[in-house]
Amino acid sequence: MILNMLVERMSMRAISRTVGVSINTATRILVDAGEACAAYHDETVRDVLARKVQCDETWSFCYATEKNVA
């Protein structure tokens, strides 16, 4: 449930209040999931040749998020 809430961009404090766990528990779950994803990625993604990488949508998202926060 905590990971689903993180994916939906819910804040760590809101998650800890909603689920009834400490913020340290929610943080630990996030770190553990990140480590598991990194290990899976390192094991399965091999020999990917990238000649061109586009990040337009990522930058648009970052700009929109920054604009909404400010």
- DSSP classification of residue 51: S
Model pLDDT for residues 1-53, shown as the tens digit of each residue: 999 999 898 999 999 999 999 999 999 999 999 999 999 999 999 888 888 87
Rounded CA gap, 9 and 13, in Å? Answer: 12
pLDDT of residue 56 exceeding 80:
no
DSSP 12-28: HHHHHHHHT--HHHHHH
62 against 5, higher pLDDT: 5
pLDDT of residue 59 exceeding 80:
no
Domain of 39 in residue numbering reads as 2-69
- When divided into structural domains, the chain yields a total of 1
